[in-house]
Amino acid sequence: MHVRREKRSWMRRGVGAGAVLALLPALAGLAPAGAAEPPPPPPDGTIFEPERLPYGPEVPGKLTVPAGFTVTEYAAGLGNPRILAVGPDGTVYATRRQTGDVIALLDTDRDGDADRTVRVAHGLKRVNGITVHENVLYLATDKKILTAPLRGAGTIGRLRTIVDDLPDAGQHPNRTLAVGPDGYLYVTVGSTCNACDDTNPENATILRMPLDGKGRIIYAKGLRNTIGFGWVPGTRALYGMDHGSDWRGDDQPPEELNRIERGANYGWPWCFADKQVDPYIPNQPTPFTKSRFCAATKAPALTYQAHSAPLQMLFSTSASFPRDYRGDAFVAMRGSWNRSQPAGYKVVRVRFDGTTPVAVEDFLTGFLTADGTGVYGRPVGLAQLPDGSLLVGDDTMGTVYRVAATR
């Protein structure tokens, strides 16, 4: 076990002109900054790293799901599986960022666990995002978006680069992507830092572009690091889970579930939660005070425990899960490192009432030991198999689990 305290600083510059100009319509009529706001408090945080425990065949039995579900091992020994996607034939694809490749998991006898693993692409530095649309595989590295036709049985055609100039990655290189109900490709681009004014206006955003990668726009901004996102089934209501900044104590700022709307600004780095000013940012978004700037941003639909680290997000359309799960979302919470008591290390269910999220509850737990000192893995990827069961990928133990309904 290793615990240490560390203080960090961040860039100290004013907000970029682009960020302010984007909010000018909402800020119309507000007076320029007047009285100075209080000086920022010192950074506050603890690095706590639970001990990684050995993986064995008994681990799936340590995991807990609600009554009426079972959890089993789907595949193991995979190294560093990150984001998951499922092809039309049921083949599961997983990116592996550390080795820069993509693997396919095949369940050839359809017995509920993969019996074959095939590497389908390699040489992809920092590959993370993956999605399948109309039999085409889309991949995202920190700088590129690539596509390839699916050939079936764990094979793909030639990879083609359609974008090669995504913004520099910095601290958050894990791009994700998905095709929306409008037929456009959406790509998340995190900030380069913990809390600073990024100079590239495409950082801390979600981009939207045609499927050929040309003519992209900034769809939404002020999003520090939104990795998991998706649409409420049958609608165009887009939601994403954003990571709050570090070094602000155990319980702030919260992770945010945002309804993502075109042209909206969600406040980072100046604001968090319900348009709350981040007091740790030492300067002002010229020419406005932080409080006035934040008043014109969009607040989250829900918030969740700080430092939980939301990764892939998946809306359920499963016909085999109980009916009340349909239209709800699952989110993989990879787990904290900047909190004195660990948070996350689980998969949660976000309950929706129509297109409105109303509550978050535990769904798959047990990765973290009861005393919080050890972990059996860190969930990252989520996917739904054709039979409606849920796959959960763990990039620490190299395992993918299958959660199935028993009734």
Residue-wise pLDDT for 366-407, tens only, equals 999 999 999 999 999 999 999 999 999 999 999 999 999 997
Residue 24 has pLDDT above 60, yes or no: no
Q: Which burial class, exposed, middle or buried, applies to 57 when counting CB atoms under 10 A from its CB (0-12, 13-18, 19+)?
A: exposed
Identify the helix (H) or strand (E) that includes residue 354: none
Nearest CA to 354 among 301, 289, 300? 301
Q: Which two tokens stand for residue 274?
A: 């319900």
* Average pLDDT over every residue of 103-115: 95
CA distance 277 to 407: 47
* Average pLDDT over every residue of 121-129: 97
Residue 109 has pLDDT above 90, yes or no: yes
Nearest CA to 336 among 369, 310, 314? 310
Count of structural domains within the chain: 1
Supply the pLDDT for residue 302.
98
Q: Which two tokens stand for residue 201?
A: 């206006």
Strands 51-52 and 374-375: parallel
* Average pLDDT over every residue of 132-145: 98
Residue-wise pLDDT for 172-187, tens only, equals 999 999 999 999 999 9
* Average pLDDT over every residue of 112-126: 96
**CATH number assigned to the domain comprising residue 128:** 2.120.10.30
Residue 147 has pLDDT above 80, yes or no: yes
Supply the pLDDT for residue 21.
39
Residue 230 has pLDDT above 90, yes or no: yes
CA distance 274 to 298: 8
Residue-wise pLDDT for 257-310, tens only, equals 999 999 999 999 999 999 999 999 887 887 888 999 999 999 999 999 999 999
Residue 209 has pLDDT above 50, yes or no: yes
CA distance 383 to 395: 14
What global pTM score does this model have?
0.91
* Beta-carbon-side half-sphere exposure of residue 278 (alpha carbons within 13 Å): 28
CA distance 106 to 361: 31
List the domain range (segments joined by +) for residue 294: 2-405
Buried b / exposed e along 331-344 (16+ C-beta atoms within 10 A): bbbbbbbbbbebbb
